Amino acid sequence: MSDTRVRPARGSRLAISRSRGALSGFLLILLGLWGALIPFVGPYFDFAYTPDSPWTWTLGRGWLEVLPGAVAVIGGFLLLVSRNRATAMLGGWMAVAAGAWFVVGRALAAPLALGNVGGPVAVTDAKRVVLELAYFSGLGALVVFLAGLAVGRLSVRSVRDVEIREAETVRPVDTTGAQPVVMPDQKTEVIGPTAEAHRRKGWRGMFRSGDRNNQLAHH
Protein backbone atom coordinates (compact mmCIF):
# COMPACT_ATOMS: atom_id res chain seq x y z
CA MET A 1 0.00 0.00 0.00
CA SER A 2 1.22 3.51 -0.77
CA ASP A 3 -0.18 7.06 -0.62
CA THR A 4 -0.82 8.77 -3.92
CA ARG A 5 -2.00 12.34 -4.41
CA VAL A 6 -4.70 12.81 -7.01
CA ARG A 7 -6.19 15.90 -8.58
CA PRO A 8 -8.61 17.35 -6.02
CA ALA A 9 -12.28 17.40 -6.88
CA ARG A 10 -14.28 20.59 -6.89
CA GLY A 11 -15.96 19.62 -3.63
CA SER A 12 -12.58 19.44 -1.86
CA ARG A 13 -11.73 22.98 -2.99
CA LEU A 14 -14.89 24.24 -1.29
CA ALA A 15 -14.32 22.32 1.94
CA ILE A 16 -13.80 24.51 5.01
CA SER A 17 -13.54 24.04 8.72
CA ARG A 18 -16.89 24.30 10.47
CA SER A 19 -15.40 26.74 12.96
CA ARG A 20 -14.83 29.37 10.23
CA GLY A 21 -18.36 30.79 10.52
CA ALA A 22 -19.54 29.25 13.78
CA LEU A 23 -19.27 32.29 16.05
CA SER A 24 -20.70 34.74 13.51
CA GLY A 25 -23.48 32.30 12.68
CA PHE A 26 -24.43 31.85 16.34
CA LEU A 27 -24.54 35.61 16.94
CA LEU A 28 -26.58 36.19 13.79
CA ILE A 29 -29.12 33.60 14.92
CA LEU A 30 -29.51 35.44 18.24
CA LEU A 31 -29.87 38.82 16.53
CA GLY A 32 -32.36 37.43 14.01
CA LEU A 33 -34.48 35.98 16.80
CA TRP A 34 -34.34 39.31 18.61
CA GLY A 35 -35.44 41.25 15.54
CA ALA A 36 -38.29 38.85 14.74
CA LEU A 37 -39.65 38.45 18.30
CA ILE A 38 -39.04 41.78 20.02
CA PRO A 39 -42.10 43.50 18.47
CA PHE A 40 -44.33 40.81 20.02
CA VAL A 41 -42.71 40.50 23.46
CA GLY A 42 -41.42 44.06 23.88
CA PRO A 43 -44.78 45.37 25.16
CA TYR A 44 -44.39 43.15 28.23
CA PHE A 45 -41.43 45.33 29.25
CA ASP A 46 -42.77 48.67 28.04
CA PHE A 47 -40.25 48.49 25.20
CA ALA A 48 -42.26 48.63 21.98
CA TYR A 49 -43.62 50.42 18.96
CA THR A 50 -47.34 50.93 18.56
CA PRO A 51 -49.53 48.98 18.82
CA ASP A 52 -48.03 48.33 22.24
CA SER A 53 -49.89 45.10 22.94
CA PRO A 54 -48.02 41.77 22.96
CA TRP A 55 -48.37 39.25 20.13
CA THR A 56 -50.24 41.63 17.87
CA TRP A 57 -49.63 40.95 14.18
CA THR A 58 -49.51 43.77 11.65
CA LEU A 59 -48.48 43.89 8.02
CA GLY A 60 -45.62 46.25 8.82
CA ARG A 61 -44.23 43.98 11.51
CA GLY A 62 -44.37 41.01 9.18
CA TRP A 63 -42.48 42.66 6.32
CA LEU A 64 -40.10 44.93 8.23
CA GLU A 65 -39.25 42.90 11.34
CA VAL A 66 -40.29 39.24 11.14
CA LEU A 67 -39.08 38.71 7.55
CA PRO A 68 -35.54 40.12 7.95
CA GLY A 69 -35.25 38.44 11.35
CA ALA A 70 -36.12 35.04 9.86
CA VAL A 71 -33.69 35.54 6.96
CA ALA A 72 -30.92 36.44 9.41
CA VAL A 73 -31.64 33.28 11.41
CA ILE A 74 -31.45 31.10 8.29
CA GLY A 75 -28.23 32.77 7.15
CA GLY A 76 -26.68 32.38 10.58
CA PHE A 77 -27.67 28.72 10.70
CA LEU A 78 -25.96 28.06 7.35
CA LEU A 79 -22.82 29.75 8.64
CA LEU A 80 -22.97 27.74 11.84
CA VAL A 81 -23.33 24.23 10.44
CA SER A 82 -21.99 24.31 6.87
CA ARG A 83 -18.60 22.86 5.90
CA ASN A 84 -19.00 23.99 2.29
CA ARG A 85 -17.61 27.40 1.36
CA ALA A 86 -20.34 28.21 -1.18
CA THR A 87 -23.17 27.32 1.21
CA ALA A 88 -21.63 29.25 4.07
CA MET A 89 -21.11 32.32 1.87
CA LEU A 90 -24.74 32.10 0.75
CA GLY A 91 -25.75 32.23 4.40
CA GLY A 92 -23.48 35.21 4.96
CA TRP A 93 -24.96 37.17 2.09
CA MET A 94 -28.48 36.33 3.23
CA ALA A 95 -27.65 37.82 6.62
CA VAL A 96 -26.16 40.91 4.95
CA ALA A 97 -29.40 41.42 3.02
CA ALA A 98 -31.44 40.95 6.19
CA GLY A 99 -29.41 43.53 8.09
CA ALA A 100 -29.67 46.02 5.25
CA TRP A 101 -33.45 45.53 5.17
CA PHE A 102 -33.66 46.33 8.89
CA VAL A 103 -31.98 49.66 8.12
CA VAL A 104 -33.70 50.77 4.89
CA GLY A 105 -36.94 48.79 4.99
CA ARG A 106 -39.06 51.52 6.56
CA ALA A 107 -38.00 54.00 3.88
CA LEU A 108 -39.35 51.64 1.21
CA ALA A 109 -42.43 50.52 3.11
CA ALA A 110 -44.73 53.32 1.93
CA PRO A 111 -43.86 53.13 -1.82
CA LEU A 112 -44.16 49.33 -1.76
CA ALA A 113 -47.28 49.31 0.43
CA LEU A 114 -45.69 47.10 3.08
CA GLY A 115 -47.49 48.62 6.04
CA ASN A 116 -46.29 50.69 8.96
CA VAL A 117 -44.49 49.63 12.14
CA GLY A 118 -46.05 52.41 14.19
CA GLY A 119 -44.34 54.88 16.47
CA PRO A 120 -42.04 54.35 19.44
CA VAL A 121 -43.76 54.16 22.81
CA ALA A 122 -41.50 56.60 24.68
CA VAL A 123 -41.80 59.86 26.56
CA THR A 124 -38.13 60.84 26.30
CA ASP A 125 -35.81 61.33 23.38
CA ALA A 126 -33.27 58.98 24.89
CA LYS A 127 -35.75 56.10 24.90
CA ARG A 128 -36.77 56.85 21.33
CA VAL A 129 -33.13 56.58 20.27
CA VAL A 130 -32.72 53.30 22.15
CA LEU A 131 -35.86 51.86 20.52
CA GLU A 132 -34.67 52.96 17.09
CA LEU A 133 -31.30 51.32 17.56
CA ALA A 134 -32.65 48.14 19.15
CA TYR A 135 -35.43 47.57 16.63
CA PHE A 136 -34.04 48.81 13.31
CA SER A 137 -30.93 50.83 12.46
CA GLY A 138 -28.59 49.63 15.22
CA LEU A 139 -29.74 46.03 14.91
CA GLY A 140 -29.39 46.08 11.12
CA ALA A 141 -25.92 47.65 11.24
CA LEU A 142 -24.72 44.99 13.69
CA VAL A 143 -26.13 42.19 11.53
CA VAL A 144 -24.44 43.61 8.43
CA PHE A 145 -21.14 43.94 10.29
CA LEU A 146 -21.10 40.35 11.56
CA ALA A 147 -22.27 38.91 8.26
CA GLY A 148 -19.75 40.93 6.28
CA LEU A 149 -17.01 39.80 8.62
CA ALA A 150 -18.01 36.17 8.08
CA VAL A 151 -18.09 36.58 4.29
CA GLY A 152 -14.65 38.17 4.38
CA ARG A 153 -13.22 35.28 6.37
CA LEU A 154 -14.80 32.73 4.06
CA SER A 155 -13.36 34.39 0.95
CA VAL A 156 -9.79 33.75 2.19
CA ARG A 157 -8.35 30.23 2.23
CA SER A 158 -6.67 29.43 5.52
CA VAL A 159 -4.03 26.85 6.42
CA ARG A 160 -6.76 24.75 8.01
CA ASP A 161 -8.68 24.70 4.70
CA VAL A 162 -5.58 23.46 2.87
CA GLU A 163 -5.09 20.70 5.45
CA ILE A 164 -8.70 19.56 5.02
CA ARG A 165 -8.29 19.54 1.24
CA GLU A 166 -5.09 17.50 1.43
CA ALA A 167 -6.68 15.02 3.82
CA GLU A 168 -9.53 14.45 1.36
CA THR A 169 -7.32 14.15 -1.73
CA VAL A 170 -4.80 11.59 -0.41
CA ARG A 171 -5.96 8.00 -0.78
CA PRO A 172 -4.18 4.62 -0.54
CA VAL A 173 -3.47 2.80 -3.78
CA ASP A 174 -3.07 -0.99 -3.83
CA THR A 175 -0.03 -1.94 -5.87
CA THR A 176 -0.62 -5.72 -5.70
CA GLY A 177 -1.18 -7.32 -9.07
CA ALA A 178 0.50 -4.48 -10.94
CA GLN A 179 1.84 -5.12 -14.44
CA PRO A 180 5.60 -5.58 -14.78
CA VAL A 181 7.49 -2.60 -16.06
CA VAL A 182 9.46 -3.04 -19.28
CA MET A 183 12.60 -0.95 -19.46
CA PRO A 184 13.08 1.15 -22.59
CA ASP A 185 16.44 -0.50 -23.47
CA GLN A 186 15.22 -4.05 -22.96
CA LYS A 187 15.52 -6.14 -26.13
CA THR A 188 13.10 -8.90 -26.85
CA GLU A 189 13.20 -11.65 -29.47
CA VAL A 190 10.03 -13.15 -30.77
CA ILE A 191 10.32 -16.79 -31.82
CA GLY A 192 7.29 -17.99 -33.63
CA PRO A 193 6.10 -19.64 -36.81
CA THR A 194 7.50 -16.87 -39.02
CA ALA A 195 11.06 -17.13 -37.71
CA GLU A 196 11.00 -20.94 -37.81
CA ALA A 197 9.78 -20.90 -41.42
CA HIS A 198 12.67 -18.66 -42.45
CA ARG A 199 15.18 -21.05 -40.88
CA ARG A 200 13.75 -24.13 -42.61
CA LYS A 201 13.68 -22.33 -45.91
CA GLY A 202 17.36 -21.47 -45.53
CA TRP A 203 18.35 -25.08 -44.77
CA ARG A 204 16.41 -26.45 -47.74
CA GLY A 205 18.04 -23.90 -50.03
CA MET A 206 21.48 -25.06 -48.95
CA PHE A 207 20.73 -28.75 -49.72
CA ARG A 208 19.03 -27.91 -53.01
CA SER A 209 21.96 -25.84 -54.17
CA GLY A 210 24.26 -28.80 -53.39
CA ASP A 211 22.14 -31.22 -55.41
CA ARG A 212 22.20 -28.92 -58.41
CA ASN A 213 26.01 -28.70 -58.35
CA ASN A 214 26.31 -32.51 -58.30
CA GLN A 215 23.98 -32.83 -61.30
CA LEU A 216 26.04 -30.37 -63.32
CA ALA A 217 29.25 -32.27 -62.50
CA HIS A 218 27.76 -35.54 -63.79
CA HIS A 219 26.76 -33.89 -67.04
- The angle, 0 to 180 degrees and rounded to 10, between the axes of the packed helices 22-41 and 137-154 is 160
Q: Is residue 194 part of a domain?
A: no
Q: Which residues pair with residue 171 across a beta bridge?
A: 4
d(CA 192, CA 134): 94
Q: pLDDT band for 104, please (50, 70, 90 cuts).
A: very high
Q: Is residue 123 part of a domain?
A: yes
Q: Is residue 195 part of a domain?
A: no
Total structural domains within the chain? 1
Report the predicted TM-score, pTM, of the whole model to 2 decimal places: 0.68
Find the domain containing 92 and state its range.
Answer: 18-157
Q: Is residue 166 part of a domain?
A: no
Q: Is residue 199 part of a domain?
A: no
Which is nearest to 118 in space by CA: 130, 132, 129, 104?
132
Please provide the average confidence, as pLDDT, over all residues in the chain: 79
Q: What is the pLDDT of residue 20?
A: 73
Query: pLDDT per residue over 151-183, tens digit each?
Result: 999 988 754 555 545 555 555 545 455 555 555
Q: Which carries the bigger pLDDT value, residue 42 or residue 211?
A: 42
